[in-house]
Amino acid sequence: MFVDQANIYIKAGDGGDGCVSFHREKYIASGGPDGGDGGKGGDIVFKVDDNISNLIDFRYKRKYIAEKGQNGSSKNCTGRNAPDLIINVPRGTVVRESESGRILADLSCDEPVVICKGGKGGRGNAHFATPTRQIPRFAKPGFRGDEYNVTLELKLIADVGLVGFPNVGKSTLISVVSAAKPKIANYHFTTLTPVLGVVKIEDGKSFVMADIPGLIEGASEGVGLGHEFLRHVERCRLIVHVVDVSGIEGRNPVEDFEAINKELANFSEELAEAPQIVAANKSDMATPEQIAEFREYIEDKGYPFFEISAATTNGTQALVYGIWDKLKDLPPVKEFEAQPLTQQELDEKLISNRAFNVTVEDGIYFVEADWLWDILRSVNMDDYSSLQYFQRVLRSSGIIDKLEEMGINEGDTVSIFDFEFDYIR
């Protein structure tokens, strides 16, 4: 089964927690704090693997979570950094953020791409010693790693894409000009998956051709099978439009030509403007008048015209050389650029990461904030300086201001993750 789209969840590893520790050694008094920092969480790295041809593996495994960094330890020992999680994908995979559709990466080259960065390790209590606070009994938790719901979309990398209605001879054409062996039969939708073939001109000269499953009217709106594969035409430097010039199935070649171009334009404006060559196939079954009429129409449109018969290989060699001559003047295969977050989006993300909600039930003020969990578990409730740090976090995040805005009074109960305390001004 050919799968060219999949949705998965990826999360980089969280950073390790800083350590709370004090130096203990015989004959050495007041050793002081020596808690080490936590290690960095593992990154999520996408890498091209040419042994993979589609995205079927991602239909069965949908969650990818990297390891957490090791916690710090005593004697100022920093925790071990977690290894990166490598995700292998076929060449040509585009990674998008599912919610916004923003492109995170285009895996078209061999360079690995970090999609999610692991969280930094938290600082140990050795960092918080000062002349006035010589025994800090708290440390910082590790930062959380990035996480995304992403859509993987395979867009085949080919120089030339064959498009046209079903059963016009695309599969036959690629089978005679390359070593590709697609299934060929005399019925519609014989080709159910894109087929790649390497067309060799001579030593050191070749190009990649893709046989795209047949399109029909309405394909850009989801009709038929071909709409699922229109994305594979997007990268192609050149489109070879194969048309049945004989009209043997009762269709008009001019109407077919215009219908397919309309579907390409509806799918993408860039495709509508892409360079195109027209291959009038099944010419051995067409009359000279049919060929001449169609040639005049195509050349009036400004497209190169080639009369071929893929079944008998007549004219296919001239078509191959015509494609090669055209490719020499065209830019390289298209790559999709990653779309970084704007400053406004970064600011909104920062604010959302510190989002909280306060509700009142039976006189108790409940504070809900996922990010507070990491802070809360690092606080030593028996240590005054640690509690001061916790209070500063509540103040700087706006939680205390919100409580006061809601009318909290001294002595009222505040609950955060089942940790309850009395509010004091």
pLDDT at 352: 57
**What percent of the chain is modeled with pLDDT above 90?**
32
Checking if the pLDDT of 246 tops 50, the result is yes
Lowest model confidence (mean pLDDT) among 299-303, 304-308, 368-372, 411-415: 368-372
SS3 label, residue 15:
coil
Checking if the pLDDT of 104 tops 80, the result is yes
Checking if the pLDDT of 343 tops 80, the result is no
At 180, the pLDDT band (50, 70, 90 cuts) reads low
**Which residue spans within 49-169 are E strands per DSSP?**
63-65, 85-89, 93-97, 103-107, 113-116, 147-154, 160-163
pLDDT at 186: 56
Backbone phi, psi, residue 153, to 5°: -130, 115
pLDDT at 212: 80
Structure confidence by residue, pLDDT tens digits, 3-15: 878 999 999 999 9
pLDDT at 187: 45
Choice between 111 and 157, residue whose per-residue pLDDT is larger = 111
At 158, the pLDDT band (50, 70, 90 cuts) reads confident
**Taking residues 50-59, what's their average pLDDT?**
88
Lowest model confidence (mean pLDDT) among 27-36, 59-68, 160-169: 27-36
Choice between 336 and 186, residue whose per-residue pLDDT is larger = 336
Instruction: Render 356-416 in DSSP notation, one character per residue.
Output: -EEEEETTEEEEE-TTHHHHHTT--TT-HHHHHHHHHHHHHTTHHHHHHHTT--TT-EEEE
At 355, the pLDDT band (50, 70, 90 cuts) reads confident
Amino acid sitting at position 177: V
pLDDT at 151: 94
At 232, the pLDDT band (50, 70, 90 cuts) reads confident
Checking if the pLDDT of 263 tops 90, the result is no
Lowest model confidence (mean pLDDT) among 20-34, 106-120, 161-175, 269-283: 20-34
At 83, the pLDDT band (50, 70, 90 cuts) reads very high
Checking if the pLDDT of 55 tops 80, the result is yes
Checking if the pLDDT of 1 tops 50, the result is yes
Checking if the pLDDT of 350 tops 60, the result is no
For the chain, the average pLDDT equals: 84
Q: How many other CB atoms sit within 10 Å of the CB of residue 329? A: 8
Helix, strand, coil share of the chain (percent; to 5): 25, 25, 50
Sheet holding 147-154, edge to edge: 63-65, 5-11, 147-154, 93-97, 103-107
Choice between 389 and 278, residue whose per-residue pLDDT is larger = 278
Choice between 131 and 18, residue whose per-residue pLDDT is larger = 18
Choice between 117 and 418, residue whose per-residue pLDDT is larger = 117
What predicted TM-score, i.e. pTM, was given to this entire model?
A: 0.72
Instruction: Render 281-302 in DSSP notation, one character per residue.
Output: E-GGGS-HHHHHHHHHHHHHHT
pLDDT at 29: 61
CA within 13 Å, CB half, 187: 2
Please tell me the distance from the alpha carbon of residue 307 to that of residue 328, in angstroms, as a whole number: 22
- Structural domains in the chain, sorted by start: 1-155 (2.70.210.12), 160-327 (3.40.50.300), 347-422 (3.30.300.350)
